[in-house]
Chains A and B, each alone.
Chain A
């Protein structure tokens, strides 16, 4: 295997008290921030380094981070905000949770560097409500950093002032969408905003704001310590650096691993102990429940980077959330559960999503209950295509994608259910 494990966001994993300031400092933590703010490194230099690194948004969209950081207005007099999106609720995704619990200070340092670069004084980390223990770990890390003079006024004796606070969610998948997350910080229902205006113009409390994912921020200190070229070289073309992969489902050892981008999928699967119980692989959802499912034979030819998953796999890398399904998996029942999820989590704002997600789920449920009709498959395709692209945010598309891809790749299973009223797996 090329490269090594856990060298960027997970560099404290395996050390004693990994979440403590002392441990983070023992691996060189906060040295980069100190150098930047004491030597007053120009923002343009930092952004150039981030751009060189090839770092792309790790929350799923893969937008170039360095470019995003240039969208913030430079000469703006009022308050500006920086936000970390730790609202990790995409089924199959649990990487940011492990950064929060094992290496919270690297998120803080990454955010402080981002704040310095974009001229921000106040920031929030929005943490998924269900991972309460990690919210408390992050709060403790903030307290430690404040006491050590790494947050607050005149950090490390410089004129750099930066305050960072934790804000928790309380059970709403939609708040992972950045404008819903902003609404939620403001104390409102998490309903996505129309864009434009984009957050860099009109964000938190109506002020210019930048939102990045947890893993994205945590990658920043490494990049500025070792240089953009070093990070870029860890990965492959268009996919610089390392990536955390969350591997769940039918594997021997579900886990998070941080590896170099471009690792062949079979090697990644082996890191999770392979398919469990000696069974055969049937399918993989490579990037969280909202990306297309990929049949085993195609998945085994993919490498784990943005381009390969699209070009070879016909799917997306998303947040690197690899859901593994073995040969016994009932694809109709699996789709039934996913479709219910999107119906349950639709915020209700846009008609195609509010009505369409429920419609999709009811039809899939009907098939799973053995009451389906052959024309239901075309109906599902039609409803899916009429949700996609017709909503404010991507939840509508996310609901349509599993339906379209499950039917595309596993149509005979759906047809068997309709014809026989039961699964072909039990035939």
Chain B
């Protein structure tokens, strides 16, 4: 079920589009549901679809097309490290290796305590701050060094 707060937020997004174009709010609505639940279950996707009045499959195909949506449970903190060219040139690989070592997982995996999920990501449009990562899609950390990663992990722990 979508919470009252989630519905209020979705309504604000709906006001951006013509009344007969409720589908246009699906990206925001899925994002709002994901922030609330941590990921998008089949039920959450169906709830979003029902609220917008679109077929479940229309919401699912959006959720599965865009890579910031999670269709399976992830850790409390999802860390997505950009490894594209500008970050690669400034040793994003070293940041990934450091995180893998510290967390004891490989990219794509979640720690046993369910706290961290580690990911590699594509260009985030912030190459001047390379190397960088996103925490739960919305919080960017730039100019990373192994030392800064350690401080960040302590802060999140």
Contact = CB atoms under 8 A, between A and B. Distances in A.
- Number of contact residues on B: which range applies? 35 or more
A389 interface: no
B65 A130 contact: no
Contacts of A91: 84-86, 123, 127
A186 B68 contact: no
B138 interface: yes
B140 A133 contact: yes
Interface string B8-40: 000000001110010111111011000000000
A226 interface: no
Nearest to A79: B18
Contact of B140 (A130, A168, A187, A325): A130
Interface in A90-129: 90-94, 96-97, 124, 128-129
Interface stretch (A26-34, A36-44, A48-56, A250-258): A250-258
Interface string B44-61: 000000001010001001
B138 A132 contact: yes
A339 to B, nearest CB: 11
A171 B128 contact: no
Contacts of B85: 91-92, 249, 285, 289, 323, 334, 337-338, 341
Contacts of B24: 167, 185-187, 205
A190 B65 CA distance: 8
B125 A132 contact: no
A328 to B, nearest CB: 10
B62 A94 contact: no
Nearest to B59: A187
Contacts of A90: 123
B81 to A, nearest CB: 12
B127 A92 contact: yes
A92 B127 CA distance: 6
A172 B67 contact: yes
Nearest to B136: A132
Interface string B115-157: 0000001111111111000100111100000000000000000
A89 B84 CA distance: 11
B40 to A, nearest CB: 11
A170 interface: yes
A248 B27 contact: no
Interface string B75-95: 000000001111011100000
Contacts of A325: 89
A255 B128 CA distance: 5
B88 to A, nearest CB: 5
Contacts of A88: 125
Contacts of A132: 137-140
Given A94-B127, A130-B134, 19 more contacts: A88-B125, A91-B123, A94-B126, A129-B137, A130-B121, A165-B17, A167-B16, A169-B27, A170-B27, A171-B66, A171-B69, A173-B123, A187-B26, A188-B62, A249-B89, A254-B127, A289-B85, A325-B89, A334-B85
23 contacts: A91-B127, A94-B129, A124-B16, A129-B68, A129-B137, A130-B68, A130-B121, A130-B137, A130-B140, A131-B124, A131-B125, A131-B140, A165-B16, A167-B27, A171-B122, A173-B122, A173-B123, A246-B127, A249-B90, A254-B128, A254-B129, A289-B123, A341-B122
Interface of B: 16-18, 21, 23-28, 30-31, 52, 54, 58, 61-62, 65-69, 83-86, 88-90, 121-130, 134, 137-140
